[in-house]
Amino acid sequence: MNDMMPKTRYDIAVVKGDGIGPEVCDAGLKVIQAALPDPGKLNFNEYRAGATLWKETGTSFPEETFNACRDADAIFHGAAGLPDVTAADGTEPGLDFGLQLRFRLDLYANIRPIKLHPGVTSVLRHYEPGQIDYIILRENTEGFYAARGGGNIVRGEIASDTSIITRHGTERIVRKAFELARSRNGAPLDGKKRVTCCDKANVLRSYAFFRKIAREVAEDYPDVELDFALIDAMTVHLVKRPDFYDVIVTENMFGDIISDLGAATVGGMGMSPTAEVGDNNGFFQ
């Protein structure tokens, strides 16, 4: 994804990770090779990161791996982190691979297509392939996850993390949502190109701010409908009327939650690949 002249060969950094990560990654690589008319165009180089490496060395994301990912044309990843491998503060060090890539390479757009494919039976039994087809666009560098490593625990009694939402971060993710909607065929239910802003604007000022900026950006896209949904209502809507949605844009943690909920309705996490992209790099799972 680096900005350069067209190449005849592309370097892909492969980080298989932990748990089922290597198995998933190996299967994915076989599919990629089989799908390409010229498999030689891709040069795969494997690097280590994650919880298993942290157990062995005390480091979950070596600088060598970061540099390779930064310089590669794309990054391909299985899964990172193991629930029983935790640091002294109780968090999982294996997750640093994905989190640090987002922050250090500014991979601000987390793109999760939710699509029901032929041959897959949804847990929402009355929906057929083609009737669930939307994208969840999650702001990837702000929200509560921006506080990673910076939260506080006071006297074993009080714990706090701070959510960060900026105008710059919100504007660019909302604008990307409208551009995606313009490129699609609209929601399965009515064919309308629609961006749904998912927030908690009725309670928290930060989300009211997110919604305000969404309204401002929407003025540049009169051909795309702007819709709003509160996060608690959205968990209901994705089960009861998923065909209404085209592109959903939301902040970091809400996007993390509803993207997994959406995946469950179309066959599970294995049926919902994810792209995390910035202006110069791309990370794919």
**Beta-bridge partner residues of 43:** 11
Cβ neighbourhood burial of 125 (10 Å; 0-12, 13-18, 19+): exposed
How far from chain centre, in Å, is Cα 94?
Answer: 17
pLDDT tier for residue 47 given thresholds of 50, 70 and 90: very high
**Is the pLDDT reported for residue 34 higher than 60?**
yes
Where b means 16+ CB within 10 Å and e means fewer, 173-187 reads bbbbbbebbeeeebb
What are 61-86's pLDDT values in tens digits? 999 999 999 999 999 999 889 999 99
Percentage of the chain with pLDDT > 70?
98
User: Is-contact 112 94, C-beta < 8 A?
Assistant: no
- How far apart CA 236 and CA 177 sit, in angstroms, is 22
Residue 262 structure tokens: 């959406």
Is 60 in contact with 71 (CB distance < 8 Å)? no
Q: How far is CA 50 from CA 19, 22, 103, 268, 276, in A?
A: 10, 11, 17, 23, 18
| Nearest-angstrom CA–CA distance, 261 and 255 | 10
pLDDT at 40: 82
* 147 class by beta-carbon count within 10 Å (0-12 exposed, 13-18 middle, 19+ buried): middle
Q: In the predicted model, what is the mean pLDDT of the chain?
A: 93
The helix-helix angle for 96-104 and 63-71 (nearest 10°) equals 50
Average pLDDT in the 178-183 region?
98
Q: Which CATH number fits domain 108-285: 3.40.50.920, 3.40.50.620, 3.40.50.300, 3.40.718.10?
A: 3.40.718.10
Residue 191's CB is within 10 A of a number of other CB atoms, namely 10
Determine how β-strand 158-160 pairs with β-strand 152-154: antiparallel
Asked whether residue 133 carries a pLDDT value surpassing 90, the answer given is yes
pLDDT of amino acid 150 = 75
Residues 6+ apart with CB under 8 A from 67: none
pTM of the model as a whole? 0.91
Q: Which contacts (CB < 8 Å, 24+ apart) does range 83-88 have?
A: 85/18, 85/51, 85/52, 85/54, 85/55
Which among 255, 235, 232 has a CA at the least distance from the CA of 169? 255
Average pLDDT of the segment spanning 141-159: 84
User: In this structure, what token pair is assigned to residue 187?
Assistant: 């929601």
Per-domain residue ranges of the chain:
1-105, 108-285
